[in-house]
Amino acid sequence: MAYMLAIANFHFFKFYTRMRKKHENNSCNEKDKDENLFKIILAIFLQEKKKYDCISSGSIMTASEEYLENLKPFQVGLPPHDPESNKKRYLLKDANGKKFDLEGTTKRFEHLLSLSGLFKHFIESKAAKDPKFRQVLDVLEENKANGKGKGKHQDVRRRKTEHEEDAELLKEEDSDDDESIEFQFRESPAYVNGQLRPYQIQGVNWLVSLHKNKIAGILADEMGLGKTLQTISFLGYLRYIEKIPGPFLVIAPKSTLNNWLREINRWTPDVNAFILQGDKEERAELIQKKLLGCDFDVVIASYEIIIREKSPLKKINWEYIIIDEAHRIKNEESMLSQVLREFTSRNRLLITGTPLQNNLHELWALLNFLLPDIFSDAQDFDDWFSSESTEEDQDKIVKQLHTVLQPFLLRRIKSDVETSLLPKKELNLYVGMSSMQKKWYKKILEKDLDAVNGSNGSKESKTRLLNIMMQLRKCCNHPYLFDGAEPGPPYTTDEHLVYNAAKLQVLDKLLKKLKEEGSRVLIFSQMSRLLDILEDYCYFRNYEYCRIDGSTAHEDRIQAIDDYNAPDSKKFCFLINDTCSRVSINLTSADVVVL
C-alpha cells in the first residue's frame, strides 16, 4: 500500500509540474479549465491519501462514509446551489421568446446524416416548410463542401518534417479538446451509491452519447432491467461530470412517484428531489416554496398534476423532461401530450417497456415529441413506412424503420443481458370443476340457449353471448362470485370455501407446499371480488398477506409494497388486481407468481 501511495505521489507531482508550466502560457479561459481540472485531481489524490491514512491507523469507514468521501471530488466545480442562484438558471427569462438553436440543430442533423442517408428525406421535408431549417440545411451543405462534415475524407498526404511531427505530438499530449474524445464509463460510476450491472453501464453510456449529440431518445429495456436506475445514473453524470445540477422534471404514473423518490435518495442521496402532489392547498405551498422558489434539483409529478399545474411548470427552463411509461403520450391529440409540448426543455427522454403497441402512427407520436424538428409530419412518416405491395418491399421498409430508430431507441431483454438470473419456469395446471361449479355452469348455459346456439346473428345476441362468457369465467374461478351460491346464513369461513372451487383446492395444496419451502407468492386476478374471497381464505389459513387493487389509496399502496419488501417480512402472499400491475411495481422479494 505504501508503495502504491509513493507511485501516486510521483505521478501527481509530475502532473502538477506539467500543468503549472502550461498554465503560464494559457489564456484566461484555458487557465480556468486547467484550475478546475487541477482541483479535481488534487481532491482525488487527497481522498486516496486519506483512505491510506485510515487503513494505516486501523480505523474503518462505513459504506455510507466511504460513499460520501468518494463523492467529494465530483462535487468540485458544481455551480452555487442556493435558491437565489438557482433562480438565475432555472426560471425562463421570456416564456414566449424561445430562441432557435442553429448550432445545436446543425450538430444534431450532421450526426444523424452520418449514421444514415435516410434522415435526409425528413430533414429536407422540414426545410421545405420552415426557413430556419432551410438555413440549417445550407450550413450542412456548406460544411460538406468545405470538408468539415463528419466522415469527409481528404487525401492530403505528404512527408512531415521533424519539427512538424514533434509539434503535432506535443499538441496531442496537451490537447484540451474533450469533444473529440467519446466519454464512456468503464465501470460503475463512483457518484452512484451502489454498483451498476455491465449492461446498465452500457445504457448510461448510450444516454451520454445521445446527450453529447443533442439527441433525445427512448430507453425501452424490458421491465425489470433497471431503466429507473440507468436514468438516475445519467442525471448523476449531468450533475457531477458536466456540472449541470438541474432542473430536471420526471413525469410518472401516480403509483410509482414514491418509488422514483426512494430510488433517487438511495442511489444519489446528494440530489434534492421532491414530489409535487397533494390537495390544492398543499400543491400551492410546494409550488411557491419549492418549485418557483427553485429549491430543488428534480421535480417528480404524475400525469394528472402536470395538466393541473401546467402554468407554474411552464415557467421553468427544464434541462431534461423525462417521461416514465411514455406510451401515455402515444396519442398526439391527448391533453397530456399537448400540455407537454408547451414546456421548454433542452432535451427529453422517454422510458417505456412497450414503445410500439398498436401501429406506426403511435411510434411517430413518440418520435415527434422527442425530435419535432425531424419527425414533423405524421402523413409523411406514415407514407414513408406504409406499403401494401410485395413482401420484398415490406422487408425493405422494416430495414429502413430499424435504421431510423437505431439512433433513438435502446431495447434489451432479460435473456440477452441478465445472465445471472435463473431461467423462468412456467407451469400450466388444468383442473376440472367441483360439483357446485358444474351445477352453476349448467344453469348459466341453460339460461339463454338461443345466444349459446348462435341462432341470431344480431349485435344484441353477440352482447348476450359475451355476457355468458363472463359468467362462465366467474363460475370457473369461484362459484361464490354469484349471489346465493355461498351457503348461509349464517355465513362462515370454513373448508367449504376451498372444496367448492377446484382452482382453490389446487391453490390450497400449492401454497401449503410453498410455505414449507420458504417461498413467497404473488397472486394476480382480474376480478376484485375474487380477491375478497382470497382474503377470507388467507385469514382462514392464517397466511399473512398484503393486497392492492384499483380502489387502494396511493399511501396504502406504498405502505403495502414496503411491508412486503421489508427485511424479514412475515407477509407470505400479495394479492394484486391486474389493473395495478400495468405500471411499475417493485416486488422483487417474491419468487412465485400465480395467475
- Give me the pLDDT at residue 389, please: 55
Q: How far is CA 284 from the centre of its chain?
A: 28
> Are residues 580 and 524 part of one domain?
yes
- Give me the pLDDT at residue 370, please: 77
As a whole number of angstroms, the distance between CA 472 and CA 444 comes to 7
Q: 394: how many CB neighbours lie within 10 A of its CB? A: 12
The answer to whether the beta carbons of residues 369 and 341 sit under 8 Å apart is yes
Residue with cell 395467475: 595
Can you list the alpha helix ranges (DSSP code H) found in 418-458? 435-447, 449-453
Please report, rounded to a whole number, the percentage of residues in the chain having pLDDT higher than 70. 65
- Give me the pLDDT at residue 405, please: 74
As a whole number of angstroms, the distance between CA 151 and CA 464 comes to 65
> Are residues 279 and 240 part of one domain?
yes
Q: Is the peptide bond before 567 cis (omega within 30 degrees of 0)?
A: no
- Give me the pLDDT at residue 234, please: 93
- Give me the pLDDT at residue 299, please: 92
> Are residues 296 and 218 part of one domain?
yes
- Give me the pLDDT at residue 75, please: 79
The answer to whether the beta carbons of residues 191 and 185 sit under 8 Å apart is no
Q: Is residue 293 part of a domain?
A: yes
As a whole number of angstroms, the distance between CA 511 and CA 520 comes to 9
As a whole number of angstroms, the distance between CA 167 and CA 378 comes to 53
Q: Is residue 22 part of a domain?
A: no
> Are residues 370 and 260 part of one domain?
yes
Q: Is residue 428 part of a domain?
A: no
> Are residues 453 and 533 part of one domain?
no
Can you list the alpha helix ranges (DSSP code H) found in 96-214? 102-115, 119-127, 131-145, 162-174, 198-212
User: Which CATH number does the domain housing residue 229 bear?
Assistant: 3.40.50.10810
The answer to whether the beta carbons of residues 312 and 340 sit under 8 Å apart is no
> Are residues 269 and 223 part of one domain?
yes
As a whole number of angstroms, the distance between CA 222 and CA 199 comes to 12
Residue with cell 406504498: 558
Q: How many residues comprise the chain?
A: 595
> Are residues 208 and 294 part of one domain?
yes
Per-residue exposure over 469-505, b if at least 16 CB sit within 10 Å of its own CB, e if not: eebeebbbbbbbbeeebbeeeeeeeeeebbebbbbbe
Out of 361, 378, 413, a domain closes at: 413
CB-based burial of residue 176 (10 Å sphere; 0-12 exposed, 13-18 middle, 19+ buried)?
Answer: exposed
Q: Is residue 20 part of a domain?
A: no
Q: Is residue 37 part of a domain?
A: no
Q: Is residue 117 part of a domain?
A: no
Q: Is residue 140 part of a domain?
A: no
- Give me the pLDDT at residue 233, please: 92
Q: Is residue 41 part of a domain?
A: no
The DSSP bridge partners found for residue 459 are none
- Give me the pLDDT at residue 176, please: 47
> Are residues 408 and 520 part of one domain?
no
Q: What is the pLDDT of residues 303-362, one digit of tens each?
A: 899 999 888 898 898 999 999 888 778 777 788 888 888 888 888 898 887 766 566 777
Helix (H, G, I), strand (E, B) or coil at 493: coil
- Give me the pLDDT at residue 249, please: 93
Q: Write out residues in the chain with pLDDT < 50, as ranges.
A: 1-17, 19, 21-23, 29-30, 33, 52, 54-58, 97, 151-156, 175-180
User: Which CATH number does the domain housing residue 522 bear?
Assistant: 3.40.50.300
- Give me the pLDDT at residue 552, please: 81
- Give me the pLDDT at residue 152, please: 46
> Are residues 584 and 442 part of one domain?
no
For 278, phi and psi rounded to 5 degrees? 110, -175
Query: What is the residue type of 86?
Result: N
Cell for 472?
A: 362462465
- Give me the pLDDT at residue 8, please: 45
- pTM for the model stands at 0.70
> Are residues 440 and 319 part of one domain?
no
What range defines the domain where residue 300 resides? Answer: 198-413
> Are residues 465 and 400 part of one domain?
no
- Give me the pLDDT at residue 235, please: 92
Residue 428: which residues within 8 A CB-CB, separation 6 or more?
Answer: none
- Give me the pLDDT at residue 4, please: 44
DSSP state at residue 353 = S
> Are residues 339 and 217 part of one domain?
yes
- Give me the pLDDT at residue 141, please: 66
Q: How many domains does the chain have?
A: 3
